[in-house]
């Protein structure tokens, strides 16, 4: 059918028509809210490059989690900044480590929100890399053991799901086996399967104090030029026992999200990363963009590309606008 018989504008006439034919929906159900835990009490330190986002001590973190729950957000994703960093990331798996304390604090006060933990070592190593160093390089297999211990310590503290993000080969299988052996066979794994070496993590590295002391992460995170390789990474993670797969970042990888949705049938997450958040915030502060509309359009686009869930610093703001 062609114009003038077919006039697409007929169904765009008003909001009721538009709502009726809308193909993609976005709700608080789709959102996961990342939080940064720091030691101490009454700490709420703004992250300059991420307006509205803070490093918080556990007391504030619990309050913020309660607010997220009240807005209808089903899950938070925890990152921790330890009191001290060392070569071997001992803060990552300590029973009284910062993330472990944050999990217990949230579980005690806000029991019915889901707590997901990021399992990586870059916030805990003095050199800022995501694994154990051997002759100046990140060693894959010795890192696996540390990641397993970290994931198990999160589960012991009460985490509902773990999210390994170190991009070490074999990390999902190793963590699955470790969790099962420790009696956590019902704790799922959300795998950062296709995680790119992206400049859009810049503001996060301020938030998590995890800038690498030398070099960069290109020897373990993926090359932005590759999409077939992302499918191979996801295939590996599915085979190793991932329950949810992830593409990260989201915005400049919408094509990868779409492919992942088409080629795999596991639930798919996308990480709307710090730089993607900061760009919109900065443009809105300058008065160059309508920040609310840019946020909703962005989140809708990530859903339209195929993501079932979106990890985003916009979660509370978006949930508030979207209603429960």
Contact set with ligand PBG (CB under 6 A): 118, 120, 122, 130, 165, 201, 204-205, 217, 273-274
- Indicate if 248 belongs to the active site: yes
Measured CA to CA in angstroms, residue 115 lies from 7, 10, 96, 161, 301 at distances of 48, 45, 17, 7, 26
Using alpha carbons only, what angle is made at residue 36 by residues 202 and 159, rounded to the nearest 5 degrees? 125
Q: How far is the CB of 49 from ligand PBG (least distance, A)?
A: 10
How many CB atoms are located within 10 Å of the residue 273 CB?
Answer: 26
- Indicate if 195 belongs to the active site: yes
Which of residues 107 and 195 has its CB atom nearest to ligand PBG in the complex? Answer: 195
| Range list of H helices, 138-187 | 140-157, 171-181
Q: Of the listed 195, 261, 281, 324, which one is catalytic?
A: 195
Which of residues 184 and 314 has its CB atom nearest to ligand PBG in the complex? Answer: 314
> Is the previous residue joined to 7 through a cis bond, with omega within 30 degrees of 0?
no
And the tokens for 322?
A: 């979207």
Which of residues 33 and 201 has its CB atom nearest to ligand PBG in the complex? Answer: 201
Q: Which residue has the tokens 């918080």?
A: 56
Which of residues 178 and 203 has its CB atom nearest to ligand PBG in the complex? Answer: 203
Question: Residue with the closest Cβ to ligand PBG?
Answer: 204
Which of residues 6 and 250 has its CB atom nearest to ligand PBG in the complex? Answer: 250
Q: Which residue has the tokens 């985003």?
A: 312
Which of residues 178 and 249 has its CB atom nearest to ligand PBG in the complex? Answer: 249
CA–chain centroid gap for 39, Å, is: 21
Q: How far is the CB of 228 from ligand PBG (least distance, A)?
A: 22
Q: How far is the CB of 245 from ligand PBG (least distance, A)?
A: 15
**68 DSSP 8-state letter:** H
| Range list of H helices, 15-124 | 15-20, 58-70, 90-93, 98-109
Q: How far is the CB of 250 from ligand PBG (least distance, A)?
A: 10
Rounded distance between C-alpha atoms, residue 233 and residue 235, angstroms:
5
Q: How far is the CB of 197 from ligand PBG (least distance, A)?
A: 8
Measured CA to CA in angstroms, residue 156 lies from 38, 123, 192 at distances of 20, 20, 21
Pairing of strands 44-46, 54-56: antiparallel
Q: How far is the CB of 201 from ligand PBG (least distance, A)?
A: 4
And the tokens for 177?
A: 């086996």
> Is the previous residue joined to 249 through a cis bond, with omega within 30 degrees of 0?
yes
Q: Of the listed 69, 85, 248, 281, which one is catalytic?
A: 248
The closest alpha carbon to 99, from 34, 194, 187, belongs to: 34
Catalytic residues: 195, 248
């Amino acid at each position: 059918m062609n114009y003038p018989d077919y006039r697409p504008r007929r169904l765009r006439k008003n909001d009721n028509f538009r709502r009726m034919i809308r193909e993609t929906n976005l709700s608080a159900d789709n959102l996961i809210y990342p939080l940064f835990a720091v030691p101490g009490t009454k700490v709420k330190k703004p992250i300059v490059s991420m307006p509205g986002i803070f490093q918080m001590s556990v007391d504030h973190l619990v309050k913020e989690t309660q607010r997220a729950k009240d807005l209808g957000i089903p899950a938070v994703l925890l990152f921790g900044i330890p009191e001290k960093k060392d070569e071997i990331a001992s803060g990552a798996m300590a029973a009284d480590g910062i993330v472990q304390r944050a999990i217990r604090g949230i579980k005690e006060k806000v029991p019915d929100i889901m707590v997901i933990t990021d399992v990586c070592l870059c916030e805990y190593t003095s050199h800022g890399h995501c694994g154990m160093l051997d002759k100046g390089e990140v060693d894959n297999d010795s890192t696996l053991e540390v990641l397993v211990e970290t994931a198990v310590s999160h589960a012991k503290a009460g985490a509902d799901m773990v999210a390994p993000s170190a991009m070490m080969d074999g990390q999902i299988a190793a963590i699955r086996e470790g969790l099962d052996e420790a009696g956590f066979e019902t704790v799922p794994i959300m795998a950062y399967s296709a995680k790119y070496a992206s400049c859009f993590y810049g503001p996060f590295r301020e938030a998590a104090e995890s800038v690498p002391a030398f070099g960069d992460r290109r020897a373990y995170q993926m090359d932005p030029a590759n999409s077939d390789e992302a499918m191979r990474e996801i295939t590996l993670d599915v085979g190793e026992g991932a329950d949810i797969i992830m593409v990260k970042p989201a915005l400049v990888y919408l094509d990868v999200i779409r492919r992942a949705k088409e080629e795999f049938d596991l639930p798919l997450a996308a990480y709307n990363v710090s730089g993607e958040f900061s760009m919109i915030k900065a443009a809105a502060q300058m008065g160059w963009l309508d920040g609310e509309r840019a946020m909703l359009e962005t989140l809708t686009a990530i859903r339209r590309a195929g993501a079932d869930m979106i990890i985003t610093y916009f979660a509370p703001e978006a949930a508030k606008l979207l209603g429960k």
